[in-house]
Structure 1
Amino acid sequence: MNIDRRDFFKVVFAGAATALTAPTAQARPPKELSPDAVGILYDATLCIGCKACEVECKAANAMPMSHDTPLEQAHGVSGLWDADNDLNSRTLNKIKVYTNGTAEVKDREVDGFSFVKRNCMHCVDPNCISACPVSALTKDPVTGAVTYNPDACIGCRYCQLACPFNIPKFEYDKAFPKIVKCEMCSERLAEGDIPACCDACPTGASLFGRVSDLLKEGHRRLTFQPGDWQDYPVHRLGGCEIRTTEVTGYYPKVYGETETGGTQYLLMAGVPFEKLGLPALGDDSRARLSETIQHTVYHGMMAPTLLLGGLVYAAYRHTHEEREDPSADQDPSETEAEERGHD
């Protein structure tokens, strides 16, 4: 193989020029939400921290109670609950609390407090599905719920790294572990029922419905003024149960409407969402962005080709230098004999 450094770099630069001048690979278009996609609207101003959603979630999903963590107490509530401090492999749904200063007034940022409910966001264009190499995570084409198939999972945990909301959890304490996350009670949905958390919520803080209708309901609530008395549906949007309560005021945004391409779990609160532990994300899907980068880098297999060429050249240079160095192939004993002869 006769190739010198100049010839090699000619090939490399020619390949790089081809890669740079070639049309940029386009990732798939953004995913569209199914017209019948369903979701949950969580309104923190209606939440009383009773944790009925946590209890019902564990019962509906046959999740064990926590025996190795201390009992906890919700802010301003005297009862104790057998529950973990955050989402984990045994807790799919978690009520947490934000406090500031004296924490005297509910749903106020300064010297106030607010509850927040954490569970899977069921993104319209999920990062976890994009990152999974074996399609263990899939999105229902009708409901939009992100579900998990443990038989397909290989335990790589890429979904954990990809999720911007830190939702999927891994069963590290089991011999045959799997990923655990909220699946929006997909089995209940298939039977015409609603998610257990919405069914258990006594105040309407967790409300089930079509995503398009939930967004309309969210924007309706943003027009409410503090001190007004308004009607709020309970359990499911369009149902017969209504609860009238005083409005405390809203932070002017429905979280999840646009974040990372949109989510099917939407949130409203009286304080900024960053205070409640929710990340500030752009409107474009991160899954689409990462796939665009990957498709561009590997367009025409140019990047792997250049890498292979570099490795081939490095191997050639190493062997070529050994062939040009006579002492490389000479036996050490012969070299010592020659040195004694010269002496």
Structure 2
Amino acid sequence: MARFFSNKKKPFYVPFLIFTVIILAMAAGCNHSKPLALKPGENIRALLHLEYTGPFYIGTSIPLILTVESRKGVSYEIPQYDGKAAGSLELKIKQPLNHETFSEGSRQSIRYVLSGWHVDQFTIPATNLAYETPSHQHCTIKLPSIKIKLASVLPKGKSEEELLSFNSKEIKPPLGLEPHYSMVKWFLFGALFLIIIGLLLHIYQRSHTEKTASESYQEPAHVIAFRRLANLKMMEISGSAGFKVFYSELSECIREYMKNRYSIRALEMTTEEFLMHLTTGIYLNPEQQSWLKSFMQQSDLVKFANHSPSLAEAERALQQIEQLVDSTKELPVQPDIPGNPVPTTL
């Protein structure tokens, strides 16, 4: 990830990701809920009001909003504004708006849509909202009455004949359902979430592909071994400690070579396991197996038994390791060149 953001040329989706994060943060800030308005010792509070003050006409929608705030553990019954409870108005829709939960309680809002079919002064009577406290005490709070006046769209002071000849406007086609903007909001959030997930997966897949491509090439085993042997040739050996370091490096070099060349866990094996694996396999011929066994045993004596070989023996061991690597190295595959005859045997 650090490599990705350090590129001089930023991919096109980096500004888009930053813009998306800013939009989500702004949306989260805009949707921040107001705290509850409950006073200390107050278990419940309810407010019933008209969504707008009118004027209202015959057949038009009359929206009422009921908001109830309650402490945690308080249960209550939502009143049904229909029939007499609605002052002879007709209940068309009962729509839950939102339900917010807080640490100290909750807030619930419900929208009632009423309508009337004759000109009159209507009164939604006061009603009681019953609730139960956490201590199982049954109580009620009173919701106030609301007066609603319905007017006619016809002009006043006209006779019946004049009203029948009144040039009213053409009937409009039926309106569609009220849009659910909350669904649009969640749809947009879902789309943004899917876009972000898709971009993150694309970034991960791209970085993983680049990493795999970079790791797919590995130096040949003999190249690595020859480089280590060249460093050992320049090493100055002094005393038993110097021989111990020299033979440790030399034995690790041949183990690493066998690991890279034949894909065996040579660095994790003991000397006995390493020799047994090579002598029972098809990697080395009998002469190479015998010499490698002799070298590994001598190397263990130098490393663990304080054996001090001569400088000539150390140089000869390095040369023999170099010959072993050279004789077992993997040869490059020669591509077929068009035009060159392919030898065949009859």
- TM-score (norm: length of structure 2): 0.23
Give the TM-score normalised by structure 1: 0.23
Larger Cα Rg: Structure 1 or Structure 2? 2
